[in-house]
Each structure stands twice: as structure tokens, then as C-alpha cells.
A and B are shown apart, each in its own frame.
Chain A
């Protein structure tokens, strides 16, 4: 989990703020390397540590950085695969929200040792959801919240998405068909 978060953070910071900024983050964190490999293992909690250094270098809270990274993952053309995997979850945004409970199981199918945090969705009303997500990383919930915001956009749904405590996100759907959904073709685009 740390490996994946670190790799995405690296991609986000490098692409958004430039390679030198990422270098100063790594130097400030006294990291022996500047490249994280998503398939390797890193000490648990390292992603939060590095994010704290990124916050100091960028002069903005780590929470905001994680949230923006979540949005970047869904919207950046370089990570189209992430958006596609999420869109497989459902036809509409509510469908998609429910599918998140299956996400760790789906991820395990592809990578058995990838331990995504368990996700629990409670439907309070047709337009009110609470998503619970416990992770050893503080950043996880913020990344999730950024991704949800971007996915709502993807489905053309207008929502109010805000963290409610350390391990919950509250979601209020204001207008399900606010805008046209971005197209999603089941067949993978040719590479």
C-alpha cells in the first residue's frame, strides 16, 4: 500500500510541480532513492512521512496534496487505466459507490499481495452515503476523497464529498445527472 501511494505521489509531484521539486522532497526526507517502485515493499507509514515533507516543500497541507493526488489519478491521461478500472464498478455513481466494497477483492485478483484497505459503504438515503475506510496511512482517506470527487465528475454527478472524521467520508448526491458522463467503452482502447 505504501509502495503504491509513494509511486503515485512521485508521479503527481513530478508531473505537476516538476522533477526538481520531487528531488527536494526526497532530499528533505533523507531518502536513499528518488524513485519508488509500486511492486516493491517500503516501511509501513513511509508514504505519510514523505507526504509531510512534500507539504513542507510545497507549502500546503499534506491532506490537500493527497486529495489532489487522488483527483490527478482519475483525471490524468497517463493514468487512464485507473479511471477505467474504477468505471468497471458500475453504470452510475451510486452503483460505483457500492462497487467500492468489492475493490479490495478485485485488486487481490490481479495482485494477491496488494492489501487495499477494506471499504464499507452505508447508504443512509438514496442520496446520502457514508464511506468508511480504515488504513494504516493517514493519506488513504484523503486520496479516496479526491478520487471520489473526480469520479463523480466522470459520471456527471454533482456531489458534496467531505471527510467526516479520520476514517469516514460523507457523500451527498445533489444532482445525479448534472452533466453528461464521460464516455466509457468496455473494450480497452488499443495501445
Chain B
């Protein structure tokens, strides 16, 4: 491709050429190197450049099928892409022109491989001309990564704050157990997934008298102790919640064996029955527990299930305090 000449001819000696185009390659008509810009020479260092043939230095990636410089210029419309044969990872893209005297002038840029080239070749700002946007690209890459890192940090901090707030919204601050809201959510999820589970609905006996005789701090102390007992007697996957003043709800995922449920409830009551030393005083409370199993209830309505758990708790209270009673019944209104 030879352009029709227009306007005055400009003669540039090789040093001016090198200054304006530090990545140029000037080839003779046969495609042998006559001169190379300093940055390109740096990239090809280790290879003798003068009179080297273009195709020995570069592998043409596009236009496809071109091997020699002549073919590249004949086929490439706007740009061509090369990689050096000396193993440098960064590719080159370029533009070329056959000059009136038959020489071929090619000029290159690293394009998007700039960052790899700078690292691999140890380039400095002296390797780029002032008109090149290389510095801006490097700057942008670093600024971008700083912004991304900052955003990632912000996301992590916000996520941490969100989780802490969530945890706080679901926790009973006095006992460290879950609260009513959390228990409702877990119950709803268990009902939705239709996996079998057991429910212990527990109410403390004689709690009011502790409050009345020893004062509210003693009452709080008892609640804390009950929280500790529940945590110790249950698995991490179970949900133990304080859902009212001295009312607790335990949801036991995948546990419906009557003996197992009865055993857990009895153990909890037995431990709560132990006198709790509050300063010089002994706080004595007990607990009644109503037990139900989701398969017996035959409903996936949390409200109906809770009504049934209530009935089980009243049955336990009626049977005399300090007992756990398993109620095998359908939920009210269940089919």
C-alpha cells in the first residue's frame, strides 16, 4: 500500500525518528532491519537487530496468513498484531507504511499489554514519548486497583456491621439466647422445608417468687443461668429462644424420637431444679416443658403449631410442676 504523496516531504534522521517513535522499525525493501527505536530495541535485546529479517524477529498474529513485513503491509488495513519470537510475553500492535524509496516504516505500541511489558522489561517513563498515554494507563490501573481495594474493604466493613446488627436484632441480650423474632423465623423456615422437628415449650415455675423475694437482679440472674443451661444441653443447630419474660422455646431440627425429646427436656428440668446461688441467697425455680413433634401435628402452619405447643405446656403444668409432657395430637384445625 503506497499512498499518493501530498504536501511537502519531511526528512527525518534516525535520531529524530527514535525520539518521536521509540518503538519504530525501519526495514529495507527486502524486509531487513535498518534501524529500531530504543524502546523496541530494548524489548528485542539479546537479538542482533541490524539486517535481521522481520519474520525472524516476529510472529504475525494478525492479519492471518501474513509472514513477512511485505505481506503484513499488503494485508493489514488499519493495524496488525505481532509477538516477538524472543519470548517476551507482551504483544505488539502496530501500523506500517511503505515509503517512496521502498523502505518500510513500522511503528508499534504495547496496547493493553503495557502493564505486563513495563513489568517484564523494566521500562521507565523515559521509554515512552510525551504524547503516549502509557503513563495515564499505568496511573489508571493503579488508581483503579486502589479504588477497588477500598471498595472491597468498605463492603467487608458494611457486611460486618450488617451481620452484627442482624445478630443483635435476633438475640435476647439478657440470656444470649435467640429472641421471639428469631424463633418465629426459624419456626417458619422449619415449617416451610417440611423437615421433621421437635418443639420444647418451657415456662419457669416459681420465677415470680424469686423476683418478689430476692429482687429483679436475682430474677435476671436466674434467666441467665437458664440461658446457660439451654446452651449447654443443646446442639448448635438447635434454636433456643427466650420468647417472653420466663418463657422459652426450643426448636430441635430433625429430632422427633419421643425418648430423645423426653430425655433432653428432663435433663433441662433437672438442672434448672438445682438451687442457684445468688450471692448469699439460693434462688430456687423449676420448669415445666410441653413437647410436641411436627409429624404428629400434621400442619405446616407455625401459628397452629404454637397453639399445640401451648396446649402441651398447659398439660405439663396441670400434671404438676417440674415436668415435661409430650403431647401426641394434631394441631387444632389440622386436617
Measuring CB to CB, which residues of chain A are less than 8 angstroms from any residue of chain B? 35, 37-40, 81, 84-85, 88, 90-91, 106-107, 109-111, 185-188
* A185, B208: Cα distance in complex, Å: 74
User: Could you tell me if A85 and B139 are in contact, using CB atoms closer than 8 angstroms?
Assistant: yes
Residue ID in chain A nearest B155 by CB atoms: A39
Task: Let me know if A188 and B151 touch, CB within 8 A.
Answer: no
**A37: B residues at CB distance < 8 A:** 154, 157
Measured in the bound complex, the distance between the Cα atoms of B147 and A85 in whole Å is 12
**Chain B residues within 8 Å of chain A by Cβ, number:** 24
Are B143 and A39 neighbours in the complex by a CB distance under 8 Å?
Answer: no
Q: How far is the CA of A185 from the CA of B118 in the complex (A)?
A: 9
Residue contact B126 to A91, C-beta cutoff 8 Å: yes
Tell me whether B150 and A38 are in contact (CB under 8 A).
yes
| CB 8 Å contact bits of B247-277 with A (1 = contact, 0 = none) | 0000000000000000000000000000000
Alpha-carbon gap, A106 to B143, bound state (A): 9
Q: Are A35 and B157 in contact (CB under 8 A)?
A: yes
Residue pair B157, A186 in contact (C-beta under 8 Å) = no
Q: List chain B positions with a Cβ less than 8 A from chain A.
A: 115, 118-119, 122-126, 135-136, 138-147, 150-151, 154, 157
> A186 to B136, alpha carbons, bound, how many Å?
11
A110 touches B140 (CB 8 A): yes
Check B142 against A84 for contact (C-beta < 8 Å): yes
Q: Kindly identify which residue among A39, A88, A185 contacts B154, using a CB–CB cutoff of 8 Å.
A: A39
CA distance A85 to B136 in the complex (A): 10
A109 touches B118 (CB 8 A): no
| Closest 4 pairs (CB-CB, A-B) | A110-B143, A187-B119, A88-B139, A186-B118
Q: Do B143 and A186 touch across chains, with their CB atoms under 8 A apart? A: no
Report the nearest A residue to B139, measured CB to CB. A88
What is the count of residue pairs linking A and B with beta-carbon distances less than 8 angstroms? Answer: 54
Shortest beta-carbon distance from B23 to chain A in Å = 16
CB distance from A180 to the nearest CB of B (A): 16
Please state if B157 and A109 are interface contacts (CB–CB under 8 Å).
no
User: Are A186 and B125 touching (Cβ within 8 A)?
Assistant: yes
B159 shortest CB reach to chain A, Å:
13
Contact among B125, B135, B136, B151 for A39, CB-based, below 8 A: B151
Q: Are B122 and A91 in contact (CB under 8 A)?
A: no
Chain A: which residue is nearest B117 at the CB level? A187
Residues of A within 8 A of B138 (CB): 88, 186
- Contact A188-B142, Cβ < 8 Å, known A38-B150, A88-B135: yes
Contacts of A110 in B (CB 8 A): 140, 143-144, 146-147
Greatest chain B CB density within 10 A among A35, A81, A90, A91 is at A81
A9 CA to B147 CA, complexed, in Å: 18
A109 to B145, CA, bound (A): 12
List chain A residues, Cβ under 8 A from B118: 186-187
CA distance A187 to B325 in the complex (A): 73
Given A106-B139, A187-B123, A188-B119, list of 6 further CB < 8 A pairs?
A38-B154, A81-B146, A85-B142, A90-B125, A186-B138, A187-B119
* In the bound complex, CA of A38 to CA of B149 (Å): 12
Q: Across the interface, do A106 and B123 meet the contact criterion of CB distance under 8 Å?
A: no
* Chain B residues whose CB sits within 8 angstroms of the CB of A188 once the complex forms: 119, 141-142, 145
Which residues of chain A are within 8 angstroms of B146 by Cβ–Cβ distance? 81, 85, 110
Interchain CA distance A30-B301 in the complex, whole Å: 49
Q: Which residues of A contact B125 (CB under 8 A)?
A: 90-91, 186
CA gap between A35 and B153 in the complex, in Å = 12
In contact, B126 and A107 (Cβ under 8 angstroms): no
Please indicate the chain B residues that have their CB under 8 angstroms from the CB of A106 in the complex.
136, 139-140, 143
Q: Which residues of B contact A111 (CB under 8 A)?
A: 143, 147
User: Can you list 29 pairs linking A and B with CB atoms under 8 Å apart?
Assistant: A35-B157, A37-B157, A38-B150, A38-B154, A39-B150, A85-B139, A85-B142, A88-B135, A88-B139, A91-B126, A106-B136, A107-B143, A109-B139, A109-B140, A109-B143, A110-B140, A110-B144, A110-B146, A111-B143, A111-B147, A186-B123, A186-B125, A186-B138, A187-B118, A187-B119, A187-B122, A187-B123, A188-B142, A188-B145
* CB neighbours of A84 from chain B (8 A): 142
Chain A residues with CB below 8 A from B139, complex form: 85, 88, 106, 109
Chain A residues, CB < 8 A from B145? 188
Chain A minimum-CB-distance residue to B151: A39
